[in-house]
Each structure stands twice: as structure tokens, then as C-alpha cells.
Structure 1
């Protein structure tokens, strides 16, 4: 009987340690999580400008960088004037990350190019898009690219997040 218990203990230990590398994922690869639903971005009111966001710049990880905005066929940036963690939260969620960790002023990720689409951005933090936050108005700015703002988003993605390119109706699964 003792031998059977010892073998059971060893097998259970091997199984537990072999799956320990996946504990941070919240699920084990190869097994579907039936509770997880597909997340789709909320619909925006018709009067909100359709923008697309991305993170870009130098010396960065995938979840951080200079905020770049695509609007009317042109990529541009966001000025750091009045930018807060609330605006960073909106940006990170719009990009499919759970939350913002921090934000960086003064073109930490390098100077962008093109227009500066947003300046004096004021977000409450619950907006669905950066375009819903108060600002000087899209394309109205007195900034230079030395004031381009960047964000650091959490590594954690919104479960089931489906990135929808609102500009061309292309769908990319993240």
C-alpha cells in the first residue's frame, strides 16, 4: 500500500510541475476555457472621428511606445500637454491591453512624423476611444514632435480581444 501511495505522489508531483510553467496564463495550452467569451470593441457614436492607434518608436517592447494615430489617411502623433494616466488607460484598452502602467512625455520613444493629431487631451479614463476625450480638436496643436507622448501598457491582453481595423473593416486576431 505504501508503494502505491509513493507512486501516486510522484506522478501527481510530475504532473503539477510540468504544468507550472503555464500557471501565469490562467489556462493550460491545448485546453479551451469554456467561460471565456470573445471580446469585441464597443461601437462608437457616429459623430466620433474614426481613428486607429498603434505604438511605435525606438528601444521598446511590444506593449510600449510612442502613440501614433491614423486619421484621414495619415499617421501622426499625440502631444504630451495635459496628458495623464487616464488618457493612457484609454489608449491601452483601445489597443487591447488590460490597463496602462505609465506614460512618458518628451518623445522618450523618439520623435514621430506627420501631423500632431491630438493636443491637450483630457480623458476621464472610461472613454472607448481617444477620439472621445476632450482635446483642442483633432489636428489642432501648437506642439512639436519633441513633445510626442508614449505609453507603457500592461503585458496582459484583454481576454478574447478582437482587433477591428475601423478604417478599412479588416479584422486582425491578436
Structure 2
């Protein structure tokens, strides 16, 4: 699920108007490649609290989602957490290693979202 921090408060992003351009901005902000898939309708769970952005109209050149034109005021209130958006990003230039390799400093990372509590991410060494 995509969440942004505005004025020290984390909030979600609505899927209304969220397109490939917006997805690419999110993936770029996170240090990944381009967007692989956009998951709407709270496909990664419903957030809580504020819904910060809805009806995004990104050009694709913005540095972050906050630079995209978006709805505000009463128009923004039309979105619910049932419309929280998530993204999957392409991961470019990733090399993998054999888990049994004896090379020093090999790194392996696995992260998954706990569907029972989507706000918790578990990482395994």
C-alpha cells in the first residue's frame, strides 16, 4: 500500500486517478525501477487515518507524489480506505546469490506483508 507523510502524519493514497505515471514516481522514490503493477481497491489492505492524495494528475516528471496536481477539500473526501492504492515495482539490476555460497557478505532479503495485519512487514535474514 502506498502511504505518504505530510506534516508528520502518514496517510494513504486513493486509487482514483492513480495511473502508471504516478506508479513510476512512487517506484522511483523508493529506489526501484518502473511500476510493474498497480493494485487498487485496497488490494494490500485498508489503511487507517488520513487519505492524503486522490485524483492525481501526474505528468511523470515530478520528483515526488506531492508535486502532482491532486484534489483537495471536499473533493478529496469522496475517497475511502476501500480505495487505497498499492504498487509493485520492477527491481532493475538485481543480482542474486546461492544461499549456500561461501562468498563473504552475501545478502539475502525477503519481505512479505502479513495479510492479517497489513501494517506489519516481516523481514527474514
Fold similarity call, TM over 0.5: yes
Which one of 67, 70, 74 corresponds to residue 2 of structure 2? 67
Q: TM-score, normalised by structure 2?
A: 0.68
- TM-score normalised according to structure 1 size: 0.50
Where structure 2 has 5 or more consecutive residues not aligned to the other structure, the ranges are 94-125
The match for 1:132 among 53, 64, 67 is 67
Residue pair 1:82, 1:122 contacting (<8 A) in 2 also = yes
Cα distance in 2 for residues equivalent to 1:132 and 1:123 = 8
Equivalent position of 2:41 in the other structure = 106
Aligned residue for 1:151? 87
Please say if 1:92 is aligned against 2:27. Answer: yes
Q: Distance in 2 between matches of 1:138 and 1:101?
A: 31
Paired positions, count: 93
- Give distance in 1, aligned partners of 2:25 and 2:55: 15
Cα pair 1:117 1:141 within 8 Å, conserved:
no
Change (3 A) 1:125 1:98: same
**4+ residue stretches of structure 1 with deviation over 3 A?**
137-141
The structure in which a higher percent of residues are helix is 1
Q: What SS does structure 2 have at the residue aligned with 1:152?
A: strand
Which is bigger in relative contact order (C-alpha 8 A, separation at least 6)? 2
